Amino acid sequence: RTLQVDLGERSYPIYIGGGLLSQAGDYFARHGLSAKSPVLIVTDDNVAPLHLKQVEESLRQAGYSTVVKIVPAGEKSKSLDVFEDVMTAAIEGGLDRKSAVVALGGGVVGDLAGFVAASYMRGVPFVQMPTTILAHDSSVGGKVAVNHRLAKNMIGAFYQPEMVLYDVDTLQTLPEREVRAGLAEVVKHGLIWDEAFTSWCREHTAELLALDPEALGYALTKGCEIKAHVVSRDERENGLRAILNLGHTIGHAIEAIAGYGEYLHGEAISIGMAAAALISVNRGADRSLYEETTSILRGFGLPTIMPEQLDEDKIIGAMMHDKKFKEQQLVFILPKSIGKVEIVSDVKVEEVRRVIRELKEEG
């Protein structure tokens, strides 16, 4: 399957299917990437033993020389320290302006390598090779970043790849918890944009959790398509793009106060999506909106209740740090019905406190 992300001169294709990594060299040649310039492959120490060899071999067969930088797995690698390490590898490896930087891995490697690609010699070609379900989201849209000690994703850029090569075979080695968490963002794309796709996700929950290639391929194509559509209408988040943040205001707060790593991103936004639905219900929407939202998420084994140990004041405090807070009112993405959301800028702190308490009582 091929999808096109329409961004004028910065448009690029997303290829989704099986066996793509072993054809990486052909795709590079087809996209006119220079075989005279070394290619830097950035990956992590979980992904490298599983999937690196095929990429290296395929590129080598097509006449490309490769430099590999393996970073430690996990969010900690999205740091300026590791960014500098990757830069060192790029310089020592002799990368030039026509060299491509490849991100082989999940969202961490994608965001890190993307920021390297955006900065090395003020920008070199970038290729995303996502290996997680969550990365269907992070590999589309051009946001690349590393974290600052004080704030996540604080140092970054908008930088679009030349192409995304999404080999769904790599997903077979994902730990089950990562599968569930990644599917939370797939469901999110349904909830914000497409009622029929949301129903499809509910009906194919078992196949998706079993990593059925046909079902996965469809779901990831649909998820990428929705994200690409939204991003192509609003590349720099001046308006519409904000709807992609459904569940993220509370989700980010949960991630921050529980300590990064305690909840996977997908788990935290699952609770956040339940909370957003409940805010809508408290504002007059039919309660079935909340029931349906949470039943889909629970079907994927995702959490939808607020853990008792997460302190209400701390959650609110963490949300205040969020970029979307203005004068005691919060900008929230709230569902109107399954598949439709609205950007609401007058959510009161008290409304959020109320759903935090209500979601704790559900437990």
| Binding of residue 132 to ligand NAD (CB under 6 A) | yes
Residues with Cβ within 8 Å of 333's Cβ and at least 6 positions away in sequence, in order, are: 192, 242, 243, 245, 246, 247, 248, 249, 276, 341, 342, 343, 344
Q: Are strands 325-326 and 329-337 parallel, antiparallel or unpaired?
A: antiparallel
List the x/- string, 159-198, binding to ligand NAD by CB under 6 A: -----------xx-xx---x--------------------
| Binding of residue 108 to ligand NAD (CB under 6 A) | yes
User: Residue 227 catalytic?
Assistant: yes
| Binding of residue 316 to ligand NAD (CB under 6 A) | no
| Binding of residue 255 to ligand NAD (CB under 6 A) | no
Q: Are 101 and 72 in contact (CB under 8 A)?
A: no
List the x/- string, 9-48, binding to ligand NAD by CB under 6 A: -----------------------------------x-xx-
> Which residues participate in the annotated binding site for NAD(+)?
107-111, 131-132, 143, 152, 170-173
Torsion of CA 158, 161, 162, 164, to 10 degrees: -150
> Which residues participate in the annotated binding site?
107-111, 131-132, 143, 152, 170-173, 185, 248, 265
| Binding of residue 7 to ligand NAD (CB under 6 A) | no
Identity at 334, one-letter amino acid code: L
* Catalytic choice (147, 180, 245, 292): 245
Task: Please tell me the distance from the alpha carbon of residue 249 to that of residue 276, in angstroms, as a whole number.
Answer: 9
Number of CB atoms found within 10 A of residue 134's CB = 24
Number of CB atoms found within 10 A of residue 206's CB = 10
Number of residues that bind ligand NAD (CB under 6 A): 29
**Segment lying near ligand NAD (by CB under 6 A), choices 103-111, 120-128, 253-261, 310-318:** 103-111
Q: Are 254 and 195 in contact (CB under 8 A)?
A: no
Nearer to ligand NAD, 82 or 355 (CB): 82
Residues with Cβ within 8 Å of 81's Cβ and at least 6 positions away in sequence, in order, are: none
Q: Are 43 and 52 in contact (CB under 8 A)?
A: yes
| Binding of residue 136 to ligand NAD (CB under 6 A) | no
In the bound complex, what is the minimum distance in angstroms from residue 184's beta carbon to ligand NAD? 10
**Alpha helix locations (H) across 16-52?**
24-30
DSSP for 301-336, written as a single string? T---S--TTS-HHHHHHHHHHSTTEETTEEEEEEEE
User: Residue 122 catalytic?
Assistant: yes
| Binding of residue 241 to ligand NAD (CB under 6 A) | no
* Catalytic choice (136, 189, 265, 324): 265
For the chain, what is the largest distance between any 2 Cα atoms, rounded to a whole number of angstroms?
62
In the bound complex, what is the minimum distance in angstroms from residue 229's beta carbon to ligand NAD? 15
Torsion of CA 307, 309, 315, 317, to 10 degrees: 180
Contacting residue, 105, 190, 272, 303, with ligand NAD by CB under 6 A: 105
List the x/- string, 49-68, binding to ligand NAD by CB under 6 A: -x------------------
User: Residue 248 catalytic?
Assistant: yes
- Catalytic positions, written as ranges: 122, 143, 185, 227, 237, 241, 245, 248, 252, 265
- Site residues (vs ligand NAD, CB under 6 A): 44, 46-47, 50, 73-75, 78, 105-109, 111, 131-132, 134-135, 137-138, 141, 143, 153, 170-171, 173-174, 178, 265
